[in-house]
Each structure stands twice: as structure tokens, then as C-alpha cells.
Chains A and B, each alone.
Chain A
Amino acid sequence: MLTDRKKWFIKGLRDGIPIMLGYFAVSIALGISARNAGMTAPQATLASALIMASAGQYIGFTLIAAGASYLEVMVMEAIANARYLLMSCALSQKLDPALPLRHRLLMGLWITDEIFGVSVSVEGRLNPYYIYGMAAVATPGWALGTLTGVVLGNVLPVRVVSALSVGLFGMFLSIFVPPARKNRVIAALVAVSFAASYAFNAVSWFDGISSGLKIIILTVVISLGAALLFPVGEEDGHGA
């Protein structure tokens, strides 16, 4: 059991490296927005180390700058981050039902888009130490990138920030493309998701909807449609 924990933790550290690099790049932009919102370097770094949510933090910083109330910021935070509710539901099915509460409480701190994506693609049961390993390298990347953004965001070459910022998308691709190759329903779903997401963003009628809410609406509608049309059997659903 102990060696199993160690093995998953080390695997997490390794798989966390691309997440860390991507986070570092993406959070530089976040640090710049924090500075524009009038936040200090310690404040922005603390916010990133704790919250680890790109869109959510960005919206929060913007509202703080605008002088919104505590309640308003919290409500917007809930809307922007509601997709984590779905991710947490999906992850709950990959855990050993006997997994103690303390592990559930701890791993809940680090359900980000990327850590979720990597964790959910694990075969069979998810060991919480895998998440701890990824979080151990990804969190400093996110926090230090934010710090860098606040302190010297405008000094760093745009070209470097631009290149690093697609790293996270590369990770997403490597998570959903291999299953799409094996399963035609998933392949079709990816195509539908791309098209629907593009349409949703292109139509100005939806401009008022935050990107977090768009992700939730599209995810719920497309996944529910797929669940009704192509319900998975016992063998597919197991460990998925």
C-alpha cells in the first residue's frame, strides 16, 4: 500500500510538470490582470495558491477592482467555477468507495481543469496520491507565474508567453484524442463539441454569458444528449 502511494505520487510529480509549465505561462497573464486590479504581489500570489481557477480568479479580480461587494464576488465565483461541480461528480465515481473522508477533503482543493483531465484518464481507480503529486508541482507553477505577472509581466517577451500558453491545450488534446481514436461515439462527441463551442462563441447573442457558464451549458447539453442516445454498458462505464 505504501509503495503504491509512493508510485502514484511520483507519477503525479512527473505528469504535473507539463501542467506546471502551462500554468506558469497562463498565470502570468492573470498576474498582470491582478496588478491592473490594484492587488499587491502577496495578495495575487496567495489568491492563486489557494484558488487555482483561471477564469474564476480573473472575474474575481475584475470585480474587486470595480468595488463589488463580497457577496457579488462570491456569487460570480460560484457561476464561473460551477463546472468543477461536474468534474467532482465524475471523479467521485473513480474513487474507491471506502476512501476516507480526509482524502476526499484534501483532493478537493486541487480539482482544476488540467488536474481533473489527467486524473480522470487514469485506468481503473484513482489514487488520491496521484492528485497530490500533480498538485505539488502544479500549484507552485500557478502561484509563481502569477507573481511573475504582477512583478515583471510587461518585461517578459510576448512571444515566449504566447508559445507557453498553448501548452495546456496540448495537454487537453492528449487526454481526449486517444479515447476518441478507440471509440467512435467519443470521436463524434469531440467534433460536435468543437462545432457547438465555436458556434456559441461566434454568435454575439451569447456575449453576455461568461466563458465558465458557456462551458457548463455546452457540457451538460452535449453530454446529456450523448447519454440518452448512446448509453454506456457496464464494461465501458467501468472505471471511466
Chain B
Amino acid sequence: MGRNVYIYILGMWLVTYLIRVLPLTLIRRQITNRTIRSFLYYVPYVTLAVMTFPAILTATQSPLSGALALIAGLVMAWFGCSLFQVSVACCVVVFLTELVIC
């Protein structure tokens, strides 16, 4: 590598920071447009759902353990378990499943 790695890191950080901070600093008021408000209301749910599936199936050693973790997480979250409980349960399901099948 002929270039300086620290300059790469600084450049990556700068771009990422600007993306993260510009809307927060530029949008100072409540948006009144109903469509934009609705859009921003739905964004978190859609983006988190899109990031979860099918990625959870490929994050683990086997798609089966990922799928079982997904089902366990869906059921536990549906019945009101806390963020921590759901998260730990998913990990435990994967660990136990892979003890058996891998």
C-alpha cells in the first residue's frame, strides 16, 4: 500500500459523519407535510425488517440455526420480552442448534 491508511480512515469517517449529522442539524423543525411525515414514520420499521431478513439466515454457520433464531425472536418479541431477553435468546438458540447439527 503506497497510500497512507490513516488518510483513508479519516476520509471514510468524514463522509460517514456528514451523512449522519447533516439531516440532524439542518432539519430543525417538525415537518408538516403529511406524506413526508408518514414516510419518516415508516422508515425505521421497514429498514430494520429489510436488514433482518434474509441476512439472519446467512449470519450463522447454518441457515437452519438462523431461521430458528428468527422464529424464537419473533415469538418472544411478540409476547413482550425485553430487548435484552430477545437478543440473548436468539444467540442461545443458534448455539444449541449448532451443537446438534454442526
Contact = CB atoms under 8 A, between A and B. Distances in A.
Contacts of A202: 54
B61 A159 contact: yes
A97 B42 contact: no
B38 A17 contact: no
Contact of A95 (B24, B70, B92): B24
A164 B77 contact: no
B9 A43 contact: yes
Contacts of B98: 159, 162-163
B101 to A, nearest CB: 11
Contact of A104 (B5, B24, B81): B24
Q: Which one of B5, B49, B90 has the greatest number of beta carbons of chain A within 10 Å?
A: B49
27 contacts: A43-B5, A47-B9, A53-B16, A64-B1, A69-B3, A77-B16, A87-B47, A88-B22, A89-B23, A89-B27, A92-B27, A93-B40, A105-B25, A111-B24, A159-B61, A162-B98, A163-B95, A165-B60, A167-B87, A170-B88, A172-B49, A190-B49, A197-B49, A219-B50, A226-B39, A231-B38, A237-B34
Interface string A64-88: 1101011001100110011111111
Interface of B: 1-3, 5-9, 11-17, 19-25, 27-31, 34-56, 59-61, 65-66, 69-70, 73-74, 76-78, 80-95, 98-99, 102
A38 B91 contact: no
Interface of A: 15, 17-18, 21-22, 38-40, 43, 46-47, 50-51, 53, 56-57, 60, 64-65, 67, 69-70, 73-74, 77-78, 81-93, 95, 97, 101, 104-105, 107-109, 111, 113, 116-118, 120-121, 158-160, 162-181, 186, 189-190, 193-194, 196-198, 201-202, 211, 214-215, 218-219, 222-224, 226-228, 230-232, 236-237, 240
A196 B50 contact: yes
A92 B72 CA distance: 33
A83 B47 contact: yes
